[in-house]
Amino acid sequence: EQIKKGKYDHYMQKEIHEQPDSLTTTMRGRLIRGGESKMKSVVLGGLKDHLRTIRRSRRIVFIGCGTSYNAALAARPIVEELSGVPVTMELASDLVDRQGPIYREDTAVFVSQSGETADTLQALEYAKSHGALCVGITNTVGSAIARGTHCGVHINAGCEIGVASTKAYTSQIAVMTMLALALGDDSISSRIRREAIIDDFFDLPSKVREVLKLDIEMKELANLLMEEQSLLIFGRGYNYATALEGALKVKEVALMHSEGILAGEMKHGPLALVDETLPIIVVATCDATFSKQQSVIQQLKARKGRLIVMCTKGDAPSLCSSGACRFIEVPHVEDCLQPIINIVPLQLLAYHLTVLRGYNVDQPRNLAKSVTTQ
């Protein structure tokens, strides 16, 4: 059943629309609310004997490639906040190229949908040989990374067939956010924050269902953008990853040049590209970086940038009153879960752009679902 397209034209489309269910499966049995003590908590069976060691590590190193790297980047701030352990990011091939420092006191977290990516596997062998605790986050039971790590969590997103990863991305972020909650479980001071996140986890499938209703709107936007040469996506904080992942989707399937840019770096180069023609998506949903994104929008407008602003429902008037921008309005969730919502319209945009431009959605030119050679 899972490997049939059903009512959909393409696997990527099916997998985008499956996300309310795949997220439900990812969460199943792992988030506990209520009970005698009314405590809310997270249970990650595969890690329960290792949480103390991870909390005491000198640092956590997230390692992956492509979309899996972007998912780890999205989860980095909440893992740092709730665990108090510094988190560094490594693209697997770069860690191996540099033979970067990995210590016995490190926890190395390997994120891979397939669990078979050669670069990630090589980084795993390297980290193991340096004595780090190795944790696997994969979607494939029995995969090389699942077998080769000391412990781990399966994301349970179900089989993903489209080469461009969609539902695995959102489930990976969900699992790494649960990891953050589990690591922070012993802290009284963060309890209110953790409980708010757990509450929003339970609402997540319905919020994703809500954001999927933007499908027609994103098809219209794709129609408008289909002839473009290039698309920039600006994000920051939790949504820097959204910018990178949205741009990756657009380039890998729609074969359109697209760049995800950290909005804080705008004035250090990208601003030179801004004119009346180049389309720019700015992710400016409500979180601690909102006022900074407001000023980014002002600066882009001052240079007559062609803006498409992704914002929280109801915020549009405060961001751009003159009718100069288009909006993608999304439902609000806790900041660390917002990347799960925000990527959905960009997945839909990449999908529709691909269909309109006449390219192969499920098997993009030159790409493979799982890159098992170096």
Judged by the rule CB under 6 A, the positions of this chain that interact with ligand G6P are 65-68, 112-114, 117, 120, 163-165, 367, 369-371
Residue 117 or 177 with smaller CB distance to ligand G6P: 117
Least separation, in Å, of the C-beta of 71 and ligand G6P? 8
Distance CA 102, CA 122 (A): 14
Least separation, in Å, of the C-beta of 110 and ligand G6P? 9
| Residues in the chain, total | 374
Q: Which residues contact 137 (CB under 8 A, 6 or more apart)?
A: 109, 110, 111, 112, 152, 153, 155, 172, 175, 176, 179
Element housing 281 (H / E)? strand 279-283
Residue 72 or 274 with smaller CB distance to ligand G6P: 72
Residue 70 or 83 with smaller CB distance to ligand G6P: 70
Least separation, in Å, of the C-beta of 111 and ligand G6P? 7
**Residue with the CB atom nearest ligand G6P in the bound state:** 66
Residue 164 or 174 with smaller CB distance to ligand G6P: 164
The sign of the CA dihedral 217, 221, 226, 227 is positive
Least separation, in Å, of the C-beta of 232 and ligand G6P? 21
- Burial of 55-86, coded b for 16+ CB within 10 Å and e otherwise, reads bebebbbbbbbbbbbbbbbbbbbbbeebbebe
Distance CA 274, CA 302 (A): 10
Residue 171 or 338 with smaller CB distance to ligand G6P: 171
Least separation, in Å, of the C-beta of 164 and ligand G6P? 6
Residue 83 or 171 with smaller CB distance to ligand G6P: 171
Least separation, in Å, of the C-beta of 13 and ligand G6P? 16
Q: Which residues contact 195 (CB under 8 A, 6 or more apart)?
A: 40
Residue 130 or 369 with smaller CB distance to ligand G6P: 369
Least separation, in Å, of the C-beta of 225 and ligand G6P? 22
Least separation, in Å, of the C-beta of 370 and ligand G6P? 5
Q: Which residues contact 237 (CB under 8 A, 6 or more apart)?
A: 77, 287, 288, 289, 335
Cβ-contact 281, 346 below 8 angstroms: yes
Residue 69 or 240 with smaller CB distance to ligand G6P: 69
Phi (first) and psi of residue 61, to 5 degrees? -115, 120
DSSP three-state, residue 283: strand
Q: Which residues contact 183 (CB under 8 A, 6 or more apart)?
A: 51, 54, 55, 79, 82, 83, 85
